[in-house]
Amino acid sequence: MVKKIGFIGLGIMGRPMALNLLKAGYELSVFDIHAEALEALRLQGAVVCGSPRELALRSEIIITILPDSPQVKEVALGNNGLLEGMSAGKLLIDMSTIDAATEMDIHQQFRAIGADSLDAPVSGGQIGAEQATLSIMVGGEESSFDLALPVFKALGKKISYMGKSGSGQITKSCSQIATALATQGIIEAFALAQTAGIDIAKVREALSGGFAESKVLMITGDKIIRKDFAPGFKLKLYSKDLRIAKKAAAERSLVLPGTALLSGEMDALVAAGKGELDFSALYDVMNDSKKD
Ligand code: NAD
| Predicted local distance difference test score (pLDDT) of residue 207 | 98
**DSSP state letters, 229-245:** -S-SSBHHHHHHHHHHH
170-291 belongs to which homologous superfamily?
N-(1-d-carboxylethyl)-l-norvaline Dehydrogenase; domain 2 (1.10.1040.10)
Rounded distance between C-alpha atoms, residue 102 and residue 99, angstroms:
5
**Separation of 90 CA from ligand 1 center, angstroms?**
23
**Closest alpha carbon to 183 in 213, 231, 157, 220:** 220
Answer whether 24's CB lies under 8 Å from 1's CB: no
Which ligand 1 atom sits nearest the alpha carbon of residue 240? 34
Return the residue whose CA atom lies nearest to atom 18 of ligand 1.
71
Is the CB of 67 inside a 6 Å radius of any atom of ligand 1?
yes
In the predicted model, is pLDDT for residue 163 greater than 60? yes
Determine which of 106-115, 138-147, 265-274 has the lowest per-residue pLDDT on average. 265-274
Which ligand 1 atom sits nearest the alpha carbon of residue 71? 18
In the predicted model, is pLDDT for residue 156 greater than 80? yes
Look up residue 88 and give its DSSP letter: T
- Render pLDDT for 274-285 as a digit per residue (tens, 0 to 9): 999 999 888 887
| Predicted local distance difference test score (pLDDT) of residue 46 | 98
| Predicted local distance difference test score (pLDDT) of residue 1 | 83
Q: Mind spelling out the 3-state secondary structure of 135-186?
A: EEEEECCHHHHHHHHHHHHCCEEEEEEEECCCHHHHHHHHHHHHHHHHHHHH
In the predicted model, is pLDDT for residue 122 greater than 80? yes
Return the residue whose CA atom lies nearest to atom 5 of ligand 1.
11
**Separation of 195 CA from ligand 1 center, angstroms?**
37
Return the residue whose CA atom lies nearest to atom 1 of ligand 1.
11
Is the CB of 287 inside a 6 Å radius of any atom of ligand 1?
no
- Render pLDDT for 65-116 as a digit per residue (tens, 0 to 9): 999 999 999 999 999 999 999 999 999 999 999 999 999 999 999 999 999 9
| Predicted local distance difference test score (pLDDT) of residue 290 | 55
| Predicted local distance difference test score (pLDDT) of residue 133 | 98
| Predicted local distance difference test score (pLDDT) of residue 292 | 45
Can you give the length of the chain in residues?
292
Is the CB of 71 inside a 6 Å radius of any atom of ligand 1?
yes
In the predicted model, is pLDDT for residue 291 greater than 70? no
CATH 1.10.1040.10 residue ranges for the chain? 170-291
Is the CB of 32 inside a 6 Å radius of any atom of ligand 1?
yes
Strands, E assignment, 18-133: 27-31, 47-48, 61-64, 91-94, 116-119, 122-123
Return the residue whose CA atom lies nearest to atom 15 of ligand 1.
71
Pick among 3.40.50.720, 3.40.50.300, 3.40.228.10, 3.30.70.270: CATH of 4-164: 3.40.50.720
Return the residue whose CA atom lies nearest to atom 21 of ligand 1.
32
**Separation of 125 CA from ligand 1 center, angstroms?**
11
Is the CB of 2 inside a 6 Å radius of any atom of ligand 1?
no
- Render pLDDT for 180-226 as a digit per residue (tens, 0 to 9): 999 999 999 999 999 999 999 999 999 999 999 999 999 999 999 99
Burial of 241 (0-12, 13-18, 19+ CB in 10 A): buried
Which ligand 1 atom sits nearest the alpha carbon of residue 74? 18
Catalytic residues: 172
What value, to the nearest 5°, has the Cα angle with vertex 95 and ends 12 and 130? Answer: 40
Rounded distance between C-alpha atoms, residue 101 and residue 273, angstroms:
29
CATH 3.40.50.720 residue ranges for the chain? 4-164
First to last CA, the chain: 61
- Render pLDDT for 18-70 as a digit per residue (tens, 0 to 9): 999 999 999 999 999 999 999 999 999 999 999 999 999 999 999 999 999 99
Answer whether 157's CB lies under 8 Å from 133's CB: yes
- Render pLDDT for 215-250 as a digit per residue (tens, 0 to 9): 999 999 999 999 998 888 899 999 999 999 999 999
